[in-house]
Amino acid sequence: MAWHARVLVIANVTASSPEVLAALKERADQGPIDVTLLMPATRNGFAGREEAQGRLDAALDGWREAGLEAKGVCGDPDPVVALHEAWDPRAYDEVIVSTLSGQSSKWLQYDLPHRVAQITGLDVRHVTSRPRSQPRTSPPPERKRPALGPFTLRAPHSR
């Protein structure tokens, strides 16, 4: 039986992104892998875990459709706490952290990839994904325009 690298992927809204899928396929091309997706809950409480579980299941389904077998777990809303709860150095050989790109990423604002490397003692592959724009499900809000169109008259200042 061939040795499989055990890869932990930490992702939330980016878990189903093409960038994450490409990174996993690239890694699988190097040799067999066993993948676990750790998805922090969206917020505290049952509703937050339920929402994350739906996103986790959708991501895993997409990965399976692409030929990657994986398992997943929902964690604490704080990704660092979720990692501490799930981390077992005997269970994983590699870590991939997936974030949104740039300033739209809360995880990058507090340097999650670096913090994960410090906690795990492993090199961390950081994958960034562009945010997907959500399709609009309703018409755009109606704008109220001034009676004079784009120009507005202002009363002169009196001194």
- Checking if the pLDDT of 54 tops 90, the result is yes
Please give the pLDDT value at position 130. 82
Q: What does the pLDDT read at residue 134?
A: 46
Tell me what pLDDT residue 15 has.
Answer: 96
pLDDT digits (tens, 9 = 90+) for 73-102: 999 999 999 999 999 999 999 999 999 998
Q: Is the pLDDT of residue 148 over 90?
A: no
User: Which residues 6+ apart lie within 8 Å of 19 measured at CB?
Assistant: 98, 127, 128, 129, 130
Instruction: Check residue 158 and give its pLDDT.
Output: 57
Q: Say what the pTM is.
A: 0.80
pLDDT over 70 (residue 146): no
